Amino acid sequence: MDQAQLNGTAATSVPKLLLYHFCRLQLPAVPLALTAFERHLQRCFELFQAKCGREGAKVSWADFLDNLHAVDWFLCCACLERDSRAWEQLFAARVNRADCLLLDALRSRAVRLYPRDEERQDSAVTEFWGYLLAGEKTGATPILARYDGQRPLAPWLIRVFQNWQISGLRRSRDEQALPEDELGDADLSLPHQADSQWHDAFCEAAREWFSTLGDNELIILGLRLRYRMSQRDVAKVLAINEGNVSKRTTKLSKGCLEFVGERLRQLGWDGEDEELDRFVLTEMESLILDEPRLSADRLAALLAARGKKLPA
């Protein structure tokens, strides 16, 4: 190895070592060994590198480390090592942008997904932790190992939980489950500007947009986004032409992007249009479960008023 290579290796190793000790200081009760830390760091860099490679971008260690949510990532790695103290820390994690426990946030999602079924709500949350350490199929990568540290951990886990449960609901209705690569990885990369300011502004604008929708539009939105039903499935439920569902879905999507996007631009959003659209659509999926007009009971009532109902 020549001097240039030695200098390059040292330049990479020092930040890694500093990162390790920083994480240990932040999480003193989580004693992840240095060897395990280095192994997971290399694994996640390769994961990040492969993902960026599919998008045509080349990344360096500096790119990876600059955007790494270090403490979240360190905790995740310790959980993968099955450290009980790490899992205790994860159970007590606070949800980004809200002063509530991760466990409470998951229970809240379960209540919305399984209204009036307390047993199913409890089992959904309890079974989730084991699911994180298992792959979708035998020999597949554990779900938790898909987290690359490039986004906050708690919101990512909530999305994984939500998608997993929705997939289960679809399977129970003999519908096609969400593809495996949507279980936590799809549409999760939030724009750089997606901090609490933009989240709060989005929620205000989105709820204002919701107030402009009629019942028929709410039904389409709820079936497509809350229940992840295909256009064909929605057409069957409503007994209308699939092309009609497609046109109405496109109109809703365009209307949402234009309305909410314009509000955020007025507040100073200066990112690219594509970045803004991705942010709006990503945030919208989380807000759907919290919107009273799109609750399971409300959608069921709207359908019943039209002599329709969700498939059993």
pLDDT tens by residue, 40-98: 999 999 988 888 877 667 788 888 888 899 999 999 999 999 999 999 999 888 775 44
Question: 91-100 — which CB contacts under 8 Å span 24+ positions?
Answer: 93/153, 93/154, 94/154, 95/154, 95/155, 95/158, 96/152, 96/154, 96/155, 96/196, 97/196, 97/199, 97/200
| Count of the separate structural domains present in the chain | 3
pTM, 2 dp:
0.59
Closest by CA to 258, choosing from 181, 205, 182, is: 205
Q: What is the pLDDT of residue 22?
A: 94
Specify whether 208 is located in the same domain as 169.
no
Specify whether 180 is located in the same domain as 208.
no
Asked whether residue 1 is assigned to any structural domain, the reply reads no
- Say if residues 219 and 302 touch (Cβ distance below 8 Å): yes
Q: What is the pLDDT of residue 9?
A: 43
- 101 phi, psi to nearest 5 deg: -75, 150
First-last CA distance in the chain: 66
Specify whether 117 is located in the same domain as 157.
yes
CA distance 204 to 43: 39
Q: What is the pLDDT of residue 277?
A: 73
- Residues of the chain with pLDDT below 50 are 1-11, 97-98, 175-195
Full residue range of the structural domain in which residue 255 is found: 196-305
Please, which residues bridge with residue 94 across strands? 101
Asked whether residue 201 is assigned to any structural domain, the reply reads yes
Asked whether residue 5 is assigned to any structural domain, the reply reads no
- 94 phi, psi to nearest 5 deg: -95, 140
**Residue at which a domain ends, from 189, 214, 233:** 189
Asked whether residue 286 is assigned to any structural domain, the reply reads yes
- Whole-number Cα distances in Å, 12 to 7, 8, 41, 67, 200: 9, 6, 12, 16, 38
**Residue at which a domain ends, from 36, 59, 90:** 90
Q: What is the pLDDT of residue 106?
A: 87
Give the dihedral sign, CA 122/123/124/127. Answer: positive
Specify whether 110 is located in the same domain as 173.
yes
Specify whether 244 is located in the same domain as 224.
yes
* DSSP H helical ranges for 215-241: 215-221, 231-238
For tokens 């209705």, name the residue.
Answer: 173
Asked whether residue 6 is assigned to any structural domain, the reply reads no
Amino acid at 170: R
**Residue at which a domain ends, from 90, 116, 132:** 90
Specify whether 183 is located in the same domain as 98.
yes
Asked whether residue 184 is assigned to any structural domain, the reply reads yes
Asked whether residue 28 is assigned to any structural domain, the reply reads yes
